[in-house]
Amino acid sequence: MTTPPLPPGPVGIVGLGLIGGSLGLDLRRLGLEVRGLVHRPQTAERALARGLVQQASTDAAVLAGCRLVVLALPLDRLLASDPALVAAIPPEVVVTDVGSVKAPVLARWQGLHPRFVASHPMAGTAQAGVEAGLEGLFQGRPWVATPSAATESEALAVVQALAAAVGARWLCCEASAHDRAVALISHLPVLVSAALLQNADRSGADLPDLVRALASSGFADTTRVGGGNPELGTLMARCNREAVAEALAGYRACLEQLERRLEQADWAGLQADLEQCRQLRPQFL
């Protein structure tokens, strides 16, 4: 089935960090008018200088006339929504978000706006802020929507058109299923790689220079997300606490199995575990 085009009219983006800024760059490249609502005047100035949007303001009135509004805000600001922002978005406008936890955001915004669609583009880097936006960030990456029975089908189609416009792969699932899945493949890795960094620092305290000098690509690959934005990592864990705790428990069980292999010198068992992982990895990439 052919994805319909985006509706005519400006697109508003609330928040011009990595996701919002990257979206602005992609949409501008497509010739669309993009307007940005930001928190600080300095951010608005820099966003205009970088070409993220054609208009940027700290005043929610900048969204007037937009046909689609994307809430590219941190999870805490999505869940504690600004009344002035809500009031500035007319009921006929389609609204979506890009938050990495969906159930609480869907529950909150479904009651605030009749055409809200909960969504999550699965793309990112370790960078943050108005300087972080990149063209092509969403190309080939999943863009997940988590509609409920109350989600308007036409509004959902508009968000699907947005994802298609920036080259993302469209998926739909229930909000609770999304949150369990991202706990396993996105939120847990942040905590795991943070633990690897802490362990290397603490357990190697008697030889800190050597540990750091020997750290190479393998360590860099496995610790990248743990060395990223601490505010984002904390918000993901806080807003998806039950699913992350469940994921941590499962991971602990896997570590304990590997530990038993070592204690029992079960090298055949360890090799079998690693062979299974070698076969599993391509399925996730």
* Model pLDDT for residues 206-251, shown as the tens digit of each residue: 999 999 999 999 999 999 988 888 988 999 999 999 999 999 999 9
pLDDT for 227 equals 87
What value does the mean pLDDT of the chain take?
A: 95
Report the number of distinct structural domains present in the chain.
2
5 band by pLDDT with thresholds 50, 70 and 90:
confident
- On whether residue 5 sits in a domain, the answer given is no
Is residue 124 predicted with pLDDT exceeding 90? no
Torsion of CA 217, 221, 223, 227, to 10 degrees: 100
| DSSP β-ladder status, 119-121 and 142-145 | antiparallel
> What does the pLDDT look like over 159-187, one tens digit per residue?
999 999 999 999 999 999 999 999 999 99
Question: Per DSSP, what are the bridge partners of residue 57?
Answer: 37
Is residue 128 predicted with pLDDT exceeding 90? no
Find the angle CA(127)-CA(133)-CA(134) to the nearest 5 degrees: 105
Same domain, 17 and 107: yes
pLDDT for 258 equals 97
| Residue 211 Cα distances to 195, 219, 225, angstroms | 15, 11, 19
Domain holding 221: CATH number? 1.10.3660.10
- On whether residue 137 sits in a domain, the answer given is yes
- Domain containing 181: what range? 177-284
Is residue 254 predicted with pLDDT exceeding 70? yes
| Residue 215 Cα distances to 14, 122, 200, 212, 228, angstroms | 39, 28, 10, 5, 17
CA-nearest of 104, 111, 105 to 72 is 105
- Of the CA atoms within 13 Å of residue 69, those in its CB half-sphere come to 28
Same domain, 210 and 225: yes
Give me the phi and psi of 24, to 5 degrees please: -60, -45
Let me know: does 89 contact 155? Beta carbons within 8 Å.
no
**Structure token digits, residue 211:** 């540990």
- On whether residue 251 sits in a domain, the answer given is yes
pLDDT for 201 equals 96
Same domain, 149 and 42: yes
Same domain, 81 and 188: no
pLDDT for 82 equals 92
- On whether residue 2 sits in a domain, the answer given is no
Domain holding 156: CATH number? 3.40.50.720
Total Cβ atoms within 10 A of residue 48 = 16
